[in-house]
Amino acid sequence: MAQHQNHGGHHSHGSMKEYVIGFILSIVLTIIPLVLVMNSILSKTATMIAILVMAVLQFVIQLVFFMHIREGEKPRYNVQTLILGLVIVITIVAGSLWIMLFNKY
């Protein structure tokens, strides 16, 4: 049981400053698409692209500031697992969109 309590003396989960920065960035990245949609500032295509960009940025912010993907004894395995998961998700979403868009009778 003692081995689970001490992880080499450098086990940290981030500071309050990191959490506040991550929270503020998450709020900003949530408000921007909301404002774009509610005020019809951009065209539909540009709005969709902006929403997708904000979603990807939000995902990165969540991973870096809250999930601590860069930290750990072997962060390389975390990143490799994340990339595999993203490939699977992108394949499913792209395949679903392909079927919905090009499966016309």
Tens digit of pLDDT for each residue in 23-78? Answer: 999 999 999 999 999 999 999 889 988 988 898 889 888 888 887 777 666 667 77
The amino acid occupying position 38 is M
- Kindly list the domain boundaries of the chain, sorted by start residue: 2-72, 74-105
d(C-alpha 27, C-alpha 39), whole Å: 18
b/e per residue, 34-68, with b = 16+ CB within 10 A?
eebeeeeeeeeeeeeebbeebeeebeebebbbeee
More confident site: 104 or 64: 64
Largest CA distance in the chain: 64
Lowest pLDDT segment from 3-12, 68-77, 86-95: 3-12
SS3 105: coil
Supply the pLDDT for residue 52: 86
d(C-alpha 48, C-alpha 42), whole Å: 9
Supply the pLDDT for residue 4: 44
Supply the pLDDT for residue 48: 87
Q: Contact at 8 Å (CB) between 54 and 100?
A: no
Supply the pLDDT for residue 25: 94
Instruction: For 64, list phi and psi in degrees, rounded to 5.
Output: -75, -50
Supply the pLDDT for residue 13: 66
